[in-house]
Structures are given as structure tokens and as C-alpha cells.
Amino acid sequence: MTSILTDNLREDFYIKLYFDTSNGFYEAGIKRAFLDFSRTLFVKDENRKTLKQTAEKFILSELNKITQIEFNSQIEFDNFHKTICEQLIKIWSELTFGQAQKWLNMTLKYWLLFGDRRIEGIEKNAIYFHIPIDSYVQKGMFGEKYPKAWSKIDNYETYFNYQERHRSKNTENCPIIDEFNFFNIYKPK
């Protein structure tokens, strides 16, 4: 029997439940990704709102490039990603590399989830996207029993080591798809 509820209608409903799309899908992904790590951000600066807005505009501007140009290699994308993390930390100095990567990687993950009909060109470079590192990934995908808190990762090399370790597994999927699959089956202990 054919369902009266189409896949597109079902998908649109789920997205509306989880994301505030009132300012569009690009901003919805950025703002939701901020919520994914913000509990770890202890801000002393009274300019938090201004810093957040500046950072969001920067992320939108930089990550939008991923939908416009096509990267030629993983190395080219990795260098682009590192530069964005470094620049984001310059904008908001209280961010660690762990928090910056989480914000960028979860934004890209959400944009990919929204799909090409909402974020045109998002799949163009998706094969290069990084796995967002958090405690679930550290424990479940990397088997770390007592990992260092991802939000306290203070250098790009420590973060990037996770990407390289995953790539060495040669799963035949792009890393972000492996991460989606992982979260669909993972049961935290």
C-alpha cells in the first residue's frame, strides 16, 4: 500500500521540529550546530552576542564556498577546513579547536541532511567532509574508553588525527556517511 504521507512531507516535518528555519536553511544549520557545542563554551566576555553573530556570518560566508566551488582533493579541503577553524578562533578567541571543528562539521552535516534541494551544491564536496568529533564518536567510532574531552582539544593536529585514523579504516564510504551510519545505530552505554 502506498503511504499518503510522502517522503518529502515527512522530511520537511522532521526538519521543522528540530530546526528553526525561519531565516533559511543555511542559518538553521549554523544555529543548531552552535547549540550542539555551546554547553561547553564558558564565555567571560560580555560581548557574547556580538561575537556569536560575527562568527555565524563568517561561517556562512566561508562554508557557503563549499557549495560554490569544487575541491580537487582531500588535502585541498583539509587545508581549507584548517584555515576556517583558525580564523574562527581568531574571531572568537575563547573557542578551542575542538569547539570550532564541532561548529563547522555539524553545520556541514546539517546542511547535507537538508539536501541539495534546500542547500544547493552541498553534495559537491561532501566526500571530503570531516567527522564531527565528540564523546560519542571518540568512544563509539574510535573505541576510546576515557577520551580527552573533545571540547578541550586545543590544537588542530590532535583533532585531525581522528580524521586520519578514520580514513585509514578504508570503509569504502566517505567519512561523513560513516558518521551518519554510526549515529543511526549507536547506543550509548
pLDDT for res 139: 94
Give pLDDT, residue 141: 94
Task: Report pTM.
Answer: 0.93
Dist. CA 142–CA 174, nearest whole Å: 16
Positive or negative torsion for Cα 137, 141, 147, 152: negative
Q: What is the pLDDT of residue 3?
A: 85
Which grid cell sits at 13? Answer: 516535518
CA–CA dist 127, 27 (Å, integer): 22
Q: How far is CA 121 from the centre of its chain?
A: 16
Task: Write out the three cell numbers for 95.
Answer: 573557542
The pLDDT, as a whole number, for residue 146 is: 94
Residue numbers of the chain with a pLDDT score lower than 70: 44-45, 189
What would the 3-class secondary structure string for the chain be? CCCCCCHHHHHHHHHHHHCCCCCCHHHHHHHHHHHHHHHHCCCCCCCHHHHHHHHHHHHHHHHHHHHHCCCCCHHHHHHHHHHHHHHHHHHCCCCCHHHHHHHHHHHHHHHHHHCCCCCCCHHHHHHHCCCCCCHHHHHHCCCCCCCCCHHHCCCHHHHHHHHHHHHCCCCCCCHHHHHHHHHHHCCCC
